[in-house]
A = this chain, B = another copy of it.
């Protein structure tokens, strides 16, 4: 009997691909076993549970996203940096909808703290260096940017902007314009 050469790494990566292709809600250990042409139980040597598999995909996505973010932010500041990071999230979600959905999973505190999630907060904060904000407004702005990026990407991907003009690319550009303007003219308390 020829072995399939499974490893946790490869199982999680294949799970991410399956989620991207079939949708995150279609991701099951059974479907993944079929993809490897292997019996279901075999996967349980590499993955503790279905939940564990999903968490693994979430961690993978968070890391890939953070890597892209770091690369995009290098050498950029101000509005350039803002648009670059926004595009990273938007493009990633379009390319990898399943992974992006996984990245929204609620992780338990310990896992979250050890994840690339902290890099995301740092990246957003880095953008704000190009604007004149001090604490606590900086934190407020970090949260606002996170909300807009996540909210926009989710709604667009979910089809919330379908069937209405103008097209979403134009809106996205103008949203970035608006955020830049807002950060340059942040209202005083």
Task: Tell me the A residues contacting B by CB distance below 8 Å.
Answer: 104, 106, 109, 121, 136-137, 139-141, 143-144, 146-152, 154-155, 158-166, 168, 170-171, 174-175, 177-178, 180-182, 185-187, 189
Q: Which B residues touch A143, using CB under 8 A?
A: 152, 155, 161, 168, 171, 175
Q: How far is the CB of A67 from chain B (nearest CB, A)?
A: 20
Chain B hits for A187, CB < 8 A: 177-178, 180-181
Contact B159 A106 (CB under 8 A): yes
Known: A158-B104, A182-B178. Contact between A171 and B139, CB under 8 A? yes
Enumerate chain B residues within 8 angstroms of A163, measured Cβ to Cβ.
Answer: 109
29 A-B contacts (beta carbon < 8 Å): A106-B159, A109-B163, A121-B164, A136-B165, A136-B170, A139-B166, A140-B171, A140-B175, A140-B178, A143-B155, A143-B171, A143-B175, A144-B148, A144-B178, A146-B151, A146-B160, A147-B147, A147-B151, A147-B155, A147-B175, A150-B155, A151-B151, A151-B154, A154-B154, A174-B189, A178-B186, A180-B187, A181-B182, A181-B185
